[in-house]
Chains A and B, each alone.
Chain A
Amino acid sequence: MKHVLIFLFWLLVAVVAIALTIVLGERGAWYFAWVLGTVMIVLIAAAGTAIIDARYDEHQDDQY
């Protein structure tokens, strides 16, 4: 049940993010948004993955 609630919460966050983008940008500067968005996605994905090493250095378990 907890997992379902967490999932629904983040699903709601995603839907709100989409709704905000729709409201804010109809004919936006999409090329600029692409550059900015790609850099953001790369950095967040890289940082979120690098955390694995810190975590496994601490626990040394075989969980993933």
Chain B
Amino acid sequence: MQELDTVIELSRTQFAATALYHYLFVPLTLGLSVLLATMETIYVITGRDIYRQMTHFWSKLFAINFALGVATGLTMEFEFGTNWSTYSHFVGDIFGAPLAIEGLMAFFLESTFVGLMLFGWGKLSRGKHLLVTYMVALGSNLSALWILVANGYMQNPVGSVFNPDTMRMELTSLPDLIFSPEAQAKFVHTSIAGYVTAAIFVVGISAFYLLRRRHIELAKRSFRVAALFGVFATVGVISLGDALGFINGSAQPTKLAAMEGLWETAEAPAGFNLIAWPNQEEKRNDFELQVPYLLTPLVTHTFDESIPGVSDLEVDAEAKIRDGIPALTALKALRENPDDAEARATFDAHQDNLGYALLVQRYVEDVSQATDAQIAKAAADTIPPVAPVFWSFRVMVVAAFLMMAFLILAVIYSLRGTLHRHNGFLRLAPWMIPVPFIANEAGWIVAELGRQPWTVYGQLPTWLSASTHSVGYMIFSLVGFVLLYTLFIVIEMFLMVKFIRLGPSEDRRESPVEPTQRHSSQWSEA
């Protein structure tokens, strides 16, 4: 059992590491693709070459980021099969569908048009090139949509049913899966977080140029478009963050309790823990600084609803485990004799809590013999690690409000034409570039660590999901991935810094083919 635990922890660490690396590239791709489309829209409407140069320059940085994002993302899809084979078997029918659509529809769309966008300058007309750039933006975001539909299912499994004969979850409703509140809010929150990331990135680099009085015409326009783009996006990302928190409140109350550091059920009107030191062992906060009355309206959108704390959630989980044990026992009987009518009736009556019974199987093979202590231990497992979830959530929220304030100032200075008088602000801007990346990573930790101990919430525990590799294999592949991905980060940083230092190319040889040019070439060919 100890080796199995080590393998599971190593599998989790490996997936977390690869996902966190990958997620450094994704948001910038999502946002920068739309920002490029915005810049090119201005070019097509105004016809001014400076906007073509802008689009061309920022698309170089986009290409670097896109390539490394793809390289780090590809391995993750294989990881489901290699390291999480039980999980893949259990939910493959559901999880596989959005992932396949992502690959066949969104990623192919995005990849095909990326080539045309980067190499189509001078070969496509303005309108066609603009359409291509919009296709890249659409493809990038559709790609995220399908991934997040799959992830939304892991957070809140809807539109499916467990089949005891195949031992798999089976899809019952594709619309329920795609339009689940979790998937919708998660996609929009993530996509717009990408917009903010791109905005801060472009503002930061533009400020760097303005401060050094290089490429001023390009930098002041890039600064303006990114600041306006970002300021609306930050309002959106904070609003959707609240919607996601609200949805989590009912779908994953354990995650909400961890995010808020709530050990006891909070009666209305509850205070919001601004700062706290959660102590999971003693199930209390060693220190807390509260804003009175804030939590209830923030989380429930009412003034009179209570919010369940860890203690009550554990009691609830204990009841679910006890209810699920007959389902698991019946499932074993059904595997031996699928025609056992009594076992099937028992299974049908208790199958809603089958996943909770699987939690206790970690401590006892025959769950019908589980002791009260083992059930209590399994119930305690349903609470995710509170301190990292609590603090990651606060890092994300503080970063979001910081970026909002920063972008409001950026818009004010840019619209008033007073940026040149605020060197301090221009100096600060490049230092803001890491902030959205930190917020994105923190958000990912809240979402995924907060879902523990489940891979599919309430259905499949993490401890049952992993493959049965050896510890040596897991350590070898983990070290390999960390070294390889660190190399990718170094390459990305090197290329980004190199192209930022070089700055935009001023040549006009690559401007898209104008209608008149095409006419003349057609005439000459004729």
Chain A residues packing against B (C-beta within 8 Å)? 3, 6-7, 10-11, 14, 17-18, 21-23, 25-31, 33-34, 37-38, 40-42, 44-46, 48-50, 52-53, 55, 62-64
B239 partner residues in chain A, CB cutoff 8 A: 17-18, 21-22, 25
Closest Cβ of chain B to A59, distance in Å, is 9
A45 partner residues in chain B, CB cutoff 8 A: 35, 38, 225-226, 228-229, 232
Cβ–Cβ contact A14 & B408, under 8 A = yes
Residue from A7, A34, A41, A53 with most neighbouring chain B CB atoms (10 Å) = A41
A25 partner residues in chain B, CB cutoff 8 A: 239, 243
Bound CA span A34–B418, Å: 32
Bound CA span A62–B213, Å: 11
Bound CA span A25–B192, Å: 16
Cβ–Cβ contact B404 & A14, under 8 A = yes
Chain B residues packing against A (C-beta within 8 Å)? 34-35, 37-38, 41-42, 45-46, 48, 179, 181, 184-185, 187-188, 191-192, 195, 210, 216, 219-221, 223-226, 228-229, 231-236, 238-240, 242-243, 246-247, 301, 404-405, 408-409, 411-412, 414-415, 417-420
Interface of A (DSSP majority class): helix
Nearest CB in chain B to that of A10: its residue: B408
Bound CA span A13–B428, Å: 24
Bound CA span A21–B192, Å: 15
B404 partner residues in chain A, CB cutoff 8 A: 11, 14
Cβ–Cβ contact B225 & A30, under 8 A = no
B415 partner residues in chain A, CB cutoff 8 A: 48
Cβ–Cβ contact A30 & B240, under 8 A = yes
Bound CA span A40–B195, Å: 13
A30 partner residues in chain B, CB cutoff 8 A: 184-185, 187-188, 240, 243
Bound CA span A55–B45, Å: 17
Bound CA span A44–B233, Å: 12
Nearest CB in chain A to that of B37: its residue: A42
Cβ–Cβ contact A6 & B192, under 8 A = no
Nearest CB in chain B to that of A38: its residue: B34
B188 partner residues in chain A, CB cutoff 8 A: 30-31, 33-34, 37
Cβ–Cβ contact B232 & A48, under 8 A = no
Bound CA span A62–B420, Å: 9
Bound CA span A48–B242, Å: 28
Option from A14, A21, A46 in Cβ contact (under 8 Å) with B38: A46
Cβ–Cβ contact B412 & A42, under 8 A = no
B179 partner residues in chain A, CB cutoff 8 A: 31
Option from A11, A17, A53, A64 in Cβ contact (under 8 Å) with B420: A64
Interface of B (DSSP majority class): helix
Bound CA span A47–B226, Å: 12
Nearest CB in chain A to that of B404: its residue: A14
The 9 residue pairs across chains A and B that have the minimum distance between CB atoms: A21-B239, A64-B220, A30-B184, A45-B229, A45-B228, A49-B225, A48-B228, A34-B188, A30-B188
Supply 12 further A-B pairs (C-beta < 8 A) apart from A18-B242, A27-B247, A46-B41.
A6-B412, A14-B408, A17-B235, A26-B246, A27-B181, A38-B34, A48-B228, A50-B46, A53-B48, A64-B216, A64-B219, A64-B223
Cβ–Cβ contact A49 & B34, under 8 A = no
A49 partner residues in chain B, CB cutoff 8 A: 42, 221, 224-225, 228
Cβ–Cβ contact A62 & B216, under 8 A = yes
Cβ–Cβ contact A7 & B243, under 8 A = no
A14 partner residues in chain B, CB cutoff 8 A: 231, 234-235, 404, 408
B48 partner residues in chain A, CB cutoff 8 A: 53
Nearest CB in chain B to that of A26: its residue: B246
Bound CA span A30–B181, Å: 8
A41 partner residues in chain B, CB cutoff 8 A: 34, 38, 195, 229, 232-233, 236
B419 partner residues in chain A, CB cutoff 8 A: 64
A21 partner residues in chain B, CB cutoff 8 A: 235-236, 239, 242-243
B240 partner residues in chain A, CB cutoff 8 A: 30
Bound CA span A57–B65, Å: 35
Nearest CB in chain A to that of B48: its residue: A53
Bound CA span A30–B187, Å: 9
Cβ–Cβ contact A7 & B409, under 8 A = yes
Closest Cβ of chain B to A21, distance in Å, is 4
Option from A22, A28, A64 in Cβ contact (under 8 Å) with B301: A22
Known: A30-B184, A30-B188, A37-B192. A46 touches B220 (CB 8 A): no
A48 partner residues in chain B, CB cutoff 8 A: 224-225, 228, 415
Known: A7-B412, A49-B221. A31 touches B187 (CB 8 A): yes
Option from B195, B224, B236 in Cβ contact (under 8 Å) with A52: B224
Known: A11-B405, A50-B42, A50-B45. A40 touches B232 (CB 8 A): yes
Cβ–Cβ contact B243 & A26, under 8 A = yes
Closest Cβ of chain B to A49, distance in Å, is 4
Residue from B231, B235, B415, B420 with most neighbouring chain A CB atoms (10 Å) = B235
A40 partner residues in chain B, CB cutoff 8 A: 232
Closest Cβ of chain B to A11, distance in Å, is 6
A10 partner residues in chain B, CB cutoff 8 A: 408, 411-412
